[in-house]
Chain A
Amino acid sequence: MNEEQLIASAKNGDRKALAELVKNYGQTVYSFAFKVCRDREKAENMMQETFYSMIKSLHQFDGNSKLSTWLYRIVVNHCLMEARKSSRYTFVEQETDDSLFDEKYIADWSTLPIKNLETKELRNILDSAIDKLQPEYRVVFTLRDVEEYSTEETAKMLELSVPAVKSRLHRARAFLRNEITKAFQE
Chain B
Amino acid sequence: MNEEKVSCKDVMSHICESLSEEMDSPKCVAIKDHLENCEGCKSYFTSVEMTIDLYKKCTETFPDDVHKKLMAFLELNDEK
Contact = CB atoms under 8 A, between A and B. Distances in A.
Interface of A: 15-16, 18-20, 22-23, 26-27, 30-31, 34-35, 40, 43-44, 47-48, 51-52, 55, 97, 101, 103, 105-110, 114, 122-123, 126-127, 130, 141-142, 145-146, 150-151, 166, 169-170, 173-174, 176-177, 180-181
Contacts of B43: 106-110
Contacts of A180: 47, 51
A109 B50 contact: yes
Given A19-B76, A97-B13, A101-B13, A44 B51 contact: no
7 contacts: A19-B79, A31-B60, A31-B62, A48-B74, A103-B8, A109-B47, A177-B47
A145 B51 CA distance: 10
B71 A31 contact: no
A125 to B, nearest CB: 9
Q: Size range of the interface on B?
A: 35 or more
Contact of B66 (A16, A44, A142): A44
Contacts of A16: 79-80
B20 interface: no
